[in-house]
Structure 1
Amino acid sequence: MSDNIKFIHLTASAEPRHFGARLDQVLAELFSDYSRSRLKEWIQQGKVSVDDDVCTVPRQKLKGDEKIEINAELVQEVYHQAEDIDINVVFEDEHILVINKPRDVVVHPGAGNTSGTLLNALLSHVPGIEQIPRAGIVHRLDKDTTGLMVVAKSLLAQNALVEQLQSREMGREYEAICYGTMVAGGTVDAPIGRHPTKRTLMAVRELAKPAVTHYRVIEKFRAFTHLRLKLDTGRTHQIRVHMAHIKHPLVGDPAYGGRTRLPKGADEEFITCLRSFNRQALHAAQLSFFHPESGEWLTFQAPLPEDFQKLLIAVRQDSETHGIDEL
């Protein structure tokens, strides 16, 4: 694996909601694929223009209607290794690949995860896919989130699917188990951006990117709720952040859920089950989109994984034992 210099040209426009915000903060939102430190460095090196004027001051305040451009050099790794890793294929033709991702699988190589990822597996499974950006990966799931993903096998297919994703035509529905008894469904409409102090986490922030999550109750228990959720947007950790924001974090979520919450009077077997569920209880259950070649509307479903099913059975038994009102 060798290093190579890639020249990049990025453009975006500040929005009215960015009035009074600092340039470095707005760049961190608009170009979230790059770290704050890298973006700040590009500003200081004169690589960033605001309305065609070079700006070297990270703290410069914006009016909220500027055109922003970045012209910079990026040292990147050119090649990732193909690895013979099993993929659970739900559907495949010459244009697309739909997979059911298990837990403990990172989608794209990054710091600390240079091998064993879904991308490494795709490089082996689909000859020539290395010619497509991100090996055809259209959208991501967190390492410990299970369920459906679509991968493009051609550049035309990738462009078509990304367009559907951005225009919100692509349907993505999830199932989750959260803490607390919810009496009805609803919508969380709260912008999400990088956490102000914890770089690896996200948070609801006033000037961040818009994010909308719809949810409905499938089944309620005495201290938990089984939910079906639908995304209008696809921000990093969106469901996890939104559910924690409304005080119903996902069971097992190490980043946003805090310590395991034990219901009053829970027996030892149930306590052990809760404490041993060491990932967020989140599963991408349904994926719908227009086929990029035929235009046919496709819908795929993935059954709940075994660990999710066992947790669901356990919370149901606990509720039946103690009664739904014993919170």
Structure 2
Amino acid sequence: MAQQIELTNKVKESQLGQRLDQAIAELFEDFSRSRLKEWLLDGKVQVNGEVVTKPRTKVMGGEEITVLAELEDEERWEAQDVPLDIVYEDDDIIVINKPRDLVVHPGAGTPDGTVLNGLLFHYPPIAEVPRAGIVHRLDKDTTGLMVVAKTVPAQTRLVRELQKRNITREYEAIAIGTMTAGGKVEKPIGRHPTKRTLMAVNVLGKPAITHYRVAEHFREHTRIRLRLETGRTHQIRVHMSYIQHPLLGDIAYGGRARIPKGASDELAEMIRAFDRQALHAVMLRFAHPITGEDLEFHAPVPDDMVAMTEALREDAKLHHEDEI
């Protein structure tokens, strides 16, 4: 069954002179460029209440864009009893704490066994919501909090709040190297030029902003807290790699094992064996999409990251004492 959707957003002043098809691709990132362009050509896009069908139309900034379209069911995903750690649920939303080794959405190489399949099993009516209510994703091996919409109105409003950067997402991570202070990485992210499954800082990419602060120093690693201002694919991993502090265990983005000099055999083995990016979505804060109530959720740091943090802390303490 097709779903009626209504999307609204305002063109940013920074988009002055952009083509309309480029502007809506930035404003409605939850949908592919090709789908948005198809809706544009089909007369489903309005600029200040007037239907516009020419992709090359220039925007000036400040225009109200409305998309009135239908989402056809592209495929019927299977409901499967995938265990979900549900932190909170009401009539409109579900908040889950995702474990490692769990893909969020079916795709190439992972046709099922995903969070989406588990949502369909847990709450069958969610099949009537586009993408089963998923509004943002976590990488397969990133753990932590995700909010999912159970209804179309809740999904529309959550997507809008994400676009307006009104949903706060904080992460805990272990980065390689000694970081002296926090900061901000503001670099656009796009597809890697040669490794098509990876992303990279790319001048032709989409704007991306990551804030980070130092939580704890170790000898060759740093525990950090991060806050996303945008939500690009692999954003934290790409940005931390870009500033030469890739995440522990993130081999894809340069996070090869770094063993502190004089480390115990046990710590050295722990570092070598850490086989995922040390990244956890620890806090999620947003206004409820229907009631407007302020909500905040926390997910405890998973055992593998806790054990690694404790081992690095003990190593730092031991070598500090040796120096005294």
* TM-score computed with the length of structure 2 as normaliser: 0.80
- The count of corresponding residues between Structure 1 and Structure 2 is 309
* CA shift in 2, pair 1:123/1:156, >3 Å: same
SS, match of residue 216 in structure 2: strand
Within the alignment, does 1:210 sit opposite 2:207 as a pair? yes
- Asked if the contact 1:222–1:325 (Cα under 8 Å) also holds between the matched residues in 2, the reply is no
SS, match of residue 87 in structure 2: strand
1:307 to 294, 304, 308: 304
Within the alignment, does 1:173 sit opposite 2:159 as a pair? no
CA distance in 1, matches of 2:290, 2:201: 37
- Asked if the contact 1:222–1:324 (Cα under 8 Å) also holds between the matched residues in 2, the reply is no
- Asked if the contact 1:15–1:64 (Cα under 8 Å) also holds between the matched residues in 2, the reply is no
Letter of the structure 1 residue corresponding to residue 247 of structure 2 = L
SS, match of residue 196 in structure 1: coil
Letter of the structure 2 residue corresponding to residue 204 of structure 1 = V
- Asked if the contact 2:189–2:206 (Cα under 8 Å) also holds between the matched residues in 1, the reply is yes
Q: CA deviation at 1:323?
A: 3.0
1:186 to 173, 178, 183: 183
CA distance in 1, matches of 2:245, 2:307: 20
**Deviations for 1:150-191, whole angstroms, at most 9, x for unmatched residues?**
011111111111111110110100000001111211111111
Letter of the structure 2 residue corresponding to residue 277 of structure 1 = F
Structure 1: tracts of 5 or more residues without a match: 5-11, 56-61, 66-73
Matched residue, 1:8: none
Within the alignment, does 1:125 sit opposite 2:147 as a pair? no
Matched residue, 1:151: 148
- Asked if the contact 1:29–1:193 (Cα under 8 Å) also holds between the matched residues in 2, the reply is no
- Asked if the contact 1:221–1:324 (Cα under 8 Å) also holds between the matched residues in 2, the reply is no
SS, match of residue 200 in structure 2: strand
* CA shift in 2, pair 1:315/1:149, >3 Å: same
2:105 to 104, 108, 115: 108
Equivalence map 1:8-27=2 (5 Å): none
* CA shift in 2, pair 1:75/1:150, >3 Å: closer
* CA shift in 2, pair 1:285/1:324, >3 Å: farther
SS, match of residue 174 in structure 1: strand
Matched residue, 2:46: none
CA distance in 2, matches of 1:163, 1:93: 20
- Asked if the contact 2:201–2:239 (Cα under 8 Å) also holds between the matched residues in 1, the reply is yes
Q: CA deviation at 1:112?
A: 0.7
Q: CA deviation at 1:257?
A: 2.3
Q: CA deviation at 1:32?
A: 7.9
Q: CA deviation at 1:259?
A: 2.3
CA distance in 2, matches of 1:14, 1:207: 18
* CA shift in 2, pair 1:180/1:304, >3 Å: same
CA distance in 1, matches of 2:190, 2:138: 17
- Asked if the contact 2:93–2:150 (Cα under 8 Å) also holds between the matched residues in 1, the reply is yes
Q: CA deviation at 1:216?
A: 0.8
Q: CA deviation at 1:29?
A: 8.4
Matched residue, 1:69: none
CA distance in 1, matches of 2:274, 2:129: 36
Within the alignment, does 1:140 sit opposite 2:141 as a pair? no
CA distance in 2, matches of 1:284, 1:247: 21
Matched residue, 1:319: 316
SS, match of residue 323 in structure 1: helix
Letter of the structure 2 residue corresponding to residue 196 of structure 1 = P
Matched residue, 2:285: 288
- Asked if the contact 2:187–2:201 (Cα under 8 Å) also holds between the matched residues in 1, the reply is yes
CA distance in 1, matches of 2:58, 2:285: 39
Identity of aligned residues (%): 57
Structure 2: tracts of 5 or more residues without a match: 2-8, 43-51, 61-70
- Asked if the contact 2:93–2:154 (Cα under 8 Å) also holds between the matched residues in 1, the reply is yes
Letter of the structure 2 residue corresponding to residue 170 of structure 1 = I
SS, match of residue 124 in structure 2: coil
- Asked if the contact 1:16–1:64 (Cα under 8 Å) also holds between the matched residues in 2, the reply is no
* CA shift in 2, pair 1:101/1:227, >3 Å: same
Letter of the structure 1 residue corresponding to residue 310 of structure 2 = I
Within the alignment, does 1:238 sit opposite 2:229 as a pair? no
RMSD: 4.0
CA distance in 2, matches of 1:253, 1:150: 25
- Asked if the contact 1:18–1:26 (Cα under 8 Å) also holds between the matched residues in 2, the reply is no
* TM-score computed with the length of structure 1 as normaliser: 0.80
Q: CA deviation at 1:63?
A: 9.5
Matched residue, 1:266: 263
- Asked if the contact 2:27–2:163 (Cα under 8 Å) also holds between the matched residues in 1, the reply is no
- Asked if the contact 1:16–1:63 (Cα under 8 Å) also holds between the matched residues in 2, the reply is no
